[in-house]
Structures are given as C-alpha cells and as structure tokens.
Amino acid sequence: MRRAGPITRVAAPTATVLPLRGLITGPPPTSHRLTTTPTSAPLPHPTPLPAFKLPATSQEGKPLYVPGTAEERQARHVRMSSPLRRGTHESWWTPERAFFNAVAKTIPTYRVLDEEGHLVRGAQVPDVTKEEAMAMYKTMTLIPIVDNVLYQSQRQGRISFYMQCAGEEAAVVGSAAAMLPDDEFFGQYRESAALLHRGFPLNSLMAQCFGNVEDTSTKGRQMPVHYSAPEFGFHTITSPLATQMPQAAGAAYALKLDESRQGDCVICYFGDGAASEGDFHAALGMNSVLGGPCIWFCRNNGFAISTPIIDQYAGDGIASRGPGYGLDTIRVDGNDAFAVLGAVREARRRAVEGKKGVLVEAMTYRVGHHSTSDDSSKYRAAEEVKEWSIVDNPIHRLRAFLVEKGWWSEPEEKAMLAKHKADVLTSFKRAEKMPKPKLGEMFNDVWAVKRGEEVPRVIMEQRAELGRLLKKYGDAWEPWRRERKKFVEEGEDVIDCDGRGT
C-alpha cells in the first residue's frame, strides 16, 4: 500500500438477432419479441459536448436549457425518471441528503440540480468554491475529448482497446473531488476522469494506452485503460470484474490498523454488473465485520455490458443491499455533480469517523458502448442514447449552473475546449512516437525477490528462450524484424542472455 505523500452508406442485409427491449426510458415490456436490425448499424462514439448557447426563458422567468414546449419537457421528465422506477422500484427525487441503515419500502434519490441545472427546491449546494466547481467542470469537459481521440484511434488500429466514460462524468469526477490527497482509489475501468482530476498527467495516461517506455507503472504489459498510479493512490486496474472489491476491503482494514494512516479513506468503484459477482458480497461482508474506512461507490449506469438492469436483479437497486451488511447507504443522482460531491463527502466523513464502510449508489447512464469490443445498437435503440445525451447530460447540467451563477461564459468555453483539444492531441502524438519498454521488462515483477537474490529458475529459462528465438529469427523474419524496432534496444537486452537475472 502507498504511504502518505461524409461517408456514403451502402444498404446491408438484415438479420434476425436476439430479443431486443424497447427504450429503457419507456414502460417495462410485456413480452420479448424478435426484431431485425441492419448488421451495418453504425457504432456510436462519445457524444460531443452540447453546443454552448444562451437559454430561452420560461413563463416563470427561469432560463430553459432543455428544448421543447412545457408539455414536451414534462413528458421527457417522466420518461427520464422511468429508469429509476424500473431499476429501483418507485424511487423518487429528494433534496435531502439522508443516509439509511435499515430496510425501507422505497429508497429516495438525492439530487441538488435538476436536468436543466437549476437548484432543486429545498436543496442546498455543497460547500464548494468557484475554483473547485470550475476544476470539476474542466475535468468533465476534458475526458470526452480524451475519449473521442482514443476511441477513434482504436478504430484506426493505433491502440488495441478502449473504454469510455461518456455519460458518467459527473459520477466519476464528483466523487473524486470529494476525496483527499492521501486516500486510496480502487477503480473498475471508467475512472480515468478521477485520475485526471487528481493530477495524473495526460502524457502518463497516453503512455499507458500505448504501452510505451513512459508507462512506468504497468510497463507496457497491461491493456489500455488499465491504469496504475501509486503516487496518486490509484491501484492497478484489472480486467476481471469485481476483483478490486476484496482488495479494497483489505486496504480499508489496513488503514484501520495503521496509526500513521488514521484519517485516510478508501474509495472503491464498481458497476451494477459487478454487484452481481460473488466478490461484491465477499468484500462487503469482510468490510462490515472487520471494519475499515471504505466508500463503496456503485455507478449504476443501466447496463452490465449488454444486460439491462431490469434483467439483473429484482430488488430495489444496489442501495437496498447496504443495510443487509450494516452499511450506511445513500442513493444519489449520478448525473448531478454537486449531489455526488455532497453525498461522497458525507460518506467519507462517516467512513473515517466510524472506521467502517458506506455504500453510495449513483444512478447514471452509459452513453457509450461498454468498450470498443461492443456494439450497443444490438441491445438498445439509438433514440434512447440520444435522449439521455440531450435531456440529461451531466456536463450540460453543471455548465448551466455555472452560467447562471455568472462564473462561466461562451468565450471562456471556446478557449477552454480549444486548449483541451490541443493538449490531448499533443500528448497523443507524443505517446504514439515513443518506443515500447525493453523486451526484458516482461519478465520483471512476476515474483517478488529481495535485492541481490535471483528470480525463480522458470523465469530465467523463459527469458533465455526468448533471447535464443530473437537471435535465430529476429533479423531473418520480417515480422519479427519490424516489431523489434518498436522496443528500446530492439530486444538486445535478452539476446545472448544466460538465463540469469536479479
């Protein structure tokens, strides 16, 4: 553990696919039905930021950021509330930041700002300065640009894989902003915005996605988006679902026992799909019994890859499970950055003071695909994604609040987005040109050995075998000759290796 410190489209044949549900924002379906969809359905990518424009004004004198008549807006509001009811029974909005630790008939959803960025009646904005609010907004507007560049680069074959944060910016950034510098982060794989908000450089992020020589934490051996940053308390992301949860429970217990770390806290991110894994129950059970300050932060984004929440569980969301483990629990509007900030701040206070776990369920929506290996048009309609992107955009909501407060303007927006784009492209181009680490790095850090001791024989044998193969085929076979040039020293560090290493 870290110590403190214009394409012409060609019509394609149709094919029968698996049963497709209607809009998740509509009423529950009464039956499954077969339908057809073009096999060439376009793959959506992260939606660009909403256009900056001054709003119209309602009869009450309030600015309107969501287009349409009053009737249309009301109908949309009802539809946008449906996922809460379908995935979490009859949950209702509340401005009260109330935690619970007993089973209730229904669980409310805490929010501060509505879909148009207005303060909800009876709600209070968390104690946040202009600088803090602007820092959150700048990270929330940076990550879509990062996502767009890296997503498209994967489609071009320049990186192997990518996962987006689109639609969940408020949940990730709002929670990260509530934590302190020495806290420990266990991410799933959509928390790159949390890393950026904590100061992780763009160059380091790009280095990991390209696996180049500057990827000092995972040394080019991890898939893209599997970040690791010990200097920011960010533990290495792993691909298997929910494996970070028992690790987080152990880290929280270690903090509880370490007198020098009193006041520090763990936050563990996971999705609604991960909550169906056994590790979820093992981790919460361990934390509830052994204790340790830990915030269990669930991004309930509506889907576990292609499985909607209505097919995942019959209970009242994920929050209903908290009392069963004796955890203080709250459900929050995950598209409301201020509600997330306030909820996680209070969750952190409870966790640290009580040296225990606290569960936060953030209700949000995954706008992008699950990953670049997924085509979400096979299991949800494009209209659904578009509606969430326009009507309940977390970035739009926070920006509307900032504009209404007089903290932000159109010229500032244009300048910021231009800088974001320039910075991202500069880091991207730099990372792409850098070589990969030495080939010998793949054999390091497999076993922990003391200084001066030899690594296990099996590792030395594998290293020597690679050296022999490179010596035999490295110059004779074009694919190997071409690939060798991508690595520092072109593999010379393992050629003629005697198999010994320390």
Q: Give the confidence band of 81 by pLDDT, cuts at 50, 70, 90.
A: low
Q: Give the confidence band of 106 by pLDDT, cuts at 50, 70, 90.
A: confident
pLDDT of 104 over the 90 cut: no
Adjacent-strand bridge partners of 186:
235, 268
* pLDDT value for 94: 84
For residue 307 the two structure tokens come to 């499985």
For residue range 14-27, what is the model confidence (pLDDT) as tens digits?
433 333 333 333 33
Distance CA 145, CA 129 (A): 25
Q: How far is CA 253 from the centre of its chain?
A: 25
Distance CA 313, CA 229 (A): 34
Distance CA 426, CA 417 (A): 14
Point out the least confidently predicted range of 9-13, 68-72, 234-238: 9-13
Does the pTM of the predicted model rise above 0.75?
A: yes
Distance CA 209, CA 197 (A): 18
pLDDT of 83 over the 90 cut: no
pLDDT of 498 over the 90 cut: no
Q: Give the confidence band of 221 by pLDDT, cuts at 50, 70, 90.
A: very high
**Structural contact between residues 162 and 209, judged by C-beta atoms closer than 8 angstroms:** yes
**Structural contact between residues 270 and 298, judged by C-beta atoms closer than 8 angstroms:** yes
Distance CA 167, CA 322 (A): 25
**Structural contact between residues 325 and 357, judged by C-beta atoms closer than 8 angstroms:** yes
Distance CA 187, CA 433 (A): 28
End-to-end CA distance of the chain: 23
Point out the least confidently predicted range of 31-45, 85-99, 235-249, 289-303: 31-45
* pLDDT value for 17: 38
Distance CA 2, CA 183 (A): 10
* Helix, strand or coil, per DSSP, at residue 30: coil
Distance CA 501, CA 309 (A): 50
Which range is most confident: 14-18, 88-92, 249-253, 447-451?
249-253
Distance CA 198, CA 212 (A): 22
Q: Give the count of alpha carbons within 13 A of 195, CB side only.
A: 29
DSSP string, 372-391: TT--GGGTS-HHHHHHHHHH
**Structural contact between residues 195 and 225, judged by C-beta atoms closer than 8 angstroms:** no
